[in-house]
Amino acid sequence: MRFNHPNVTREILRDVFSIPEYKTLTNDFKVCIFDGGIGSDHVLKNWVTEIIPDNVKNTHPSLLAHGSEVCSTYLFGPYHEEQPLLNEPYTNVDIVRVLSNSDSDPDLFDVLTRIEDILKKKEYKYVNLSLGPRLAIDDDDVHVWTSVIDRLLQDGHCFATVAIGNDGELDGDYARIQPPSDMVNCFAVGASDTRSSSWERAPYSCIGPGRSPGVVKPDGVIFGGSDKELFKVYSPLTHSIVGTQGTSYSAPYALRVAAGVDSITDFALTTSTVKALMVHHANKQGKEQNEVGWGLLPHSPESVVECLDDEAIVVYQGQLKKSEHLRIQIPVPEGIDCKWVHLKATFCFNAITDPEHPLHYTRSGLDIVFRANEDKISDGAEHADTKSFFSVGNLYNTEAELREDAHKWETCISRSQRFNKSTLLNPVFDVKYHAREKGGDSAKELEPLNYSLIVSIRAEGDNNTYNLVLQQNQTLQTVKITNRVRL
């Protein structure tokens, strides 16, 4: 079992701090953390409900410390010295005590069963796992933790953040991400070493690639502490600020942002849309994909839902039946005053999994074609000419994988490109849902696929872009934001 960074020396910090006043939170979704529990002697009872399964008979202070600090990270985020008042929570949270001091099974099947029993009830839209078997993934076999939880998440009812592990300093494949963060239907979170702009992957944070499909792992990184800048978190058990580090804290920090996006918006966002928004706003800053995935994740929900001055962000979410085609219009407005148009697109969906065939682990995928100009039609063609948008070379290294079209089975793909304004005329994405059964090329009836697409349209230098998009596309709905005023 993995916890926080195994060799870190925890520090109790004497900084002055205060907990925000409790306010009633009325979200229509529930959040759960699977961990070591929180105990009864703490001051977070208004925000936290602890659930203890019947077969968890005893605990240990280290388990309660870990669970309570993971829970605190979700509620408040990291502590800032210049801001003594902790950040306000976006939601309440349940914490399920899945760890017991008497668990002796090295494969942790008892822990997995407790998690499975809760997920089967489908009560939670957001969950966090800062635990799991401490071993690197193997391409040839799908670990039981991965296969069991992935299957429970494949219908898209739940967004799960999973810590990728803290063995990134080991040699070779021993540093790879750890189960169950290799799931295709989860959000695998690594750690960055600082909150400043000069961030790097934290040395202990495990690295990718993941299994194919799911090759981009972690999905992203967010601050998790390091020797040069500890992750300062409120400890409910000691009622103090402690300094620590580990992906155990970056995962609930990312969940705080994701659930916060849902909390401050008035639109019924699906879990794949929330994942797409997080990936869409990740910033890789030229760093290696295997180390940081899609990049540094946003640190606040507000930064996810805000546009740049010359930008409009459009959210598409819907459902596709097997072999169904969909044409998604990209509303590049007429009359924009610029030379260059920057388009960024992020597709995400939940996939049916098939753990019996690791090489063909998912049974559903998207075939995506970009058509930039409706007037450019080759002789004899029925539709406008296609143009490359998503570059598979950024995901796969070997020619064999490129030939196999493995990228079509990825559950998340993101890319940005710059176009001369004159080359774009009513651009569209043509999307087809294709499927396979038990590792083969054909499939019978599969469940409809829930997809999400985030498109950023940035007309470089034209600050009227957002208004033009809205005026020329009356079917688009604005997503209203709930203001959170802080004194």
* 1 domain-assigned: no
Q: Decide: helix, strand or coil at residue 406.
A: helix
Q: Is 459 found in the same domain as 366?
A: yes
Q: Is the pLDDT of residue 433 over 80?
A: yes
* 467 domain-assigned: yes
Confidence of residue 402 (pLDDT cuts 50, 70, 90): very low
Q: Is 189 found in the same domain as 62?
A: yes
Domain count, the chain: 2
Name the residue among 380, 394, 62 with its Cα closest to residue 235: 62
In the prediction, which pLDDT does 400 show? Answer: 42
Place of tokens 């000069």: 198
* 3 domain-assigned: no
In the prediction, which pLDDT does 487 show? Answer: 35
Q: Is the pLDDT of residue 105 over 80?
A: no
Q: Is 362 found in the same domain as 229?
A: no
Q: Is 273 found in the same domain as 175?
A: yes
Confidence of residue 363 (pLDDT cuts 50, 70, 90): confident
What angle, rounded to 10 degrees, do the helices at 144-153 and 109-119 form?
0
Confidence of residue 390 (pLDDT cuts 50, 70, 90): confident
Q: Of 302, 328, 346, which residue constitutes the final position of a domain?
A: 302
Question: How does strand 340-349 pair with strand 412-420?
Answer: antiparallel
Q: Decide: helix, strand or coil at residue 70.
A: helix
Whether residue 252 has a cis bond before it, omega within 30° of 0 = no
Q: Is the pLDDT of residue 437 over 90?
A: no
* 59 domain-assigned: yes
Q: Is 257 found in the same domain as 387?
A: no
Q: Is 177 found in the same domain as 151?
A: yes
In the prediction, which pLDDT does 9 show? Answer: 58
48-57, 364-373, 407-416, 443-452: the lowest-pLDDT one: 443-452
Q: Is 397 found in the same domain as 280?
A: no
Q: Of 261, 278, 302, which residue constitutes the final position of a domain?
A: 302
In the prediction, which pLDDT does 406 show? Answer: 55
Question: How does strand 364-371 pair with strand 428-435?
Answer: antiparallel
Confidence of residue 16 (pLDDT cuts 50, 70, 90): confident
Question: How does strand 231-235 pair with strand 412-420?
Answer: unpaired
Q: In whole angstroms, what separates CA 22 from the centre of its chain? A: 28
Q: Is the pLDDT of residue 263 over 90?
A: yes
Confidence of residue 6 (pLDDT cuts 50, 70, 90): low
Confidence of residue 399 (pLDDT cuts 50, 70, 90): very low
* 331 domain-assigned: yes
Q: What is the mean pLDDT of residues 36-59?
A: 91
Confidence of residue 382 (pLDDT cuts 50, 70, 90): confident
Q: What is the pLDDT of residues 73-84, one digit of tens each?
A: 999 999 998 888
17-26, 212-221, 366-375, 426-435: the lowest-pLDDT one: 17-26
CA atoms within 13 A on the CB side of 223: 27
Q: Of 278, 302, 326, which residue constitutes the final position of a domain?
A: 302
In the prediction, which pLDDT does 11 show? Answer: 73
Radius of gyration of the chain from its Cα atoms, rounded to whole angstroms = 22
Report the run of H or E that residue 35 belongs to, with start and end.
strand 31-35
Q: What is the pLDDT of residues 283-336, one digit of tens each?
A: 999 999 999 999 999 999 999 998 889 999 999 999 888 777 899 999 999 999
Q: What is the mean pLDDT of residues 230-255?
A: 94
Distances (CA, A) of 450 to 364, 408, 415, 453: 11, 16, 20, 10
Q: In this predicted model, which residue has the larger pLDDT, 409 or 131?
A: 131
Mean per-residue pLDDT of the chain: 88
The CATH code of the domain that includes 267 is 3.40.50.200
Name the residue among 414, 453, 476, 441 with its Cα closest to residue 327: 453
Q: Using CA atoms, how far apart are residues 60 and 46, in angstroms rounded to an integer? A: 24
List the domain range (segments joined by +) for residue 24. 11-302
* 461 domain-assigned: yes
Q: Is 118 found in the same domain as 97?
A: yes
Q: Is the pLDDT of residue 280 over 90?
A: yes
Per-residue H/E/C for 184-246: CCCEEEEEECCCCCCCCECCCCCECCCCCCCCCCCCEEEECCCCCCCEEEEECCCCEEEEECC
Instruction: Identify whether the C-beta of residue 432 lies closer than 8 Å to the C-beta of residue 366.
Output: yes
* 5 domain-assigned: no
* 484 domain-assigned: no
Q: Is the pLDDT of residue 460 over 50?
A: yes
Q: Is 262 found in the same domain as 333?
A: no
Q: What is the mean pLDDT of residues 415-431?
A: 93
Q: Is 384 found in the same domain as 281?
A: no
Query: Looking at the DSSP assignment, which residues form a beta bridge with residue 192?
Result: 201, 223
Percent of the chain that is helix, strand, coil (3-state, to 5): 20, 25, 55
In the prediction, which pLDDT does 7 show? Answer: 58
Q: Decide: helix, strand or coil at residue 118.
A: helix
Q: Using CA atoms, how far apart are residues 373 and 424, in angstroms rounded to an integer? A: 5
In the prediction, which pLDDT does 405 show? Answer: 55
Q: Is 315 found in the same domain as 270?
A: no
Q: Decide: helix, strand or coil at residue 83.
A: strand
Q: Is 315 found in the same domain as 276?
A: no
In the prediction, which pLDDT does 394 show? Answer: 54
Using CB atoms within 10 Å of the CB of residue 204, give its burial: 0 to 12 exposed, 13 to 18 middle, 19+ buried.
buried
Q: What is the mean pLDDT of residues 177-191?
A: 96
The CATH code of the domain that includes 327 is 2.60.120.380
Q: What is the mean pLDDT of residues 466-481?
A: 91
Name the residue among 293, 289, 215, 285 with its Cα closest to residue 254: 293
Instruction: Identify whether the C-beta of residue 418 lies closer than 8 Å to the C-beta of residue 342.
Output: yes
Query: Looking at the DSSP assignment, which residues form a beta bridge with residue 169?
Result: none
In the prediction, which pLDDT does 431 show? Answer: 92
138-152, 392-406, 453-467: the lowest-pLDDT one: 392-406
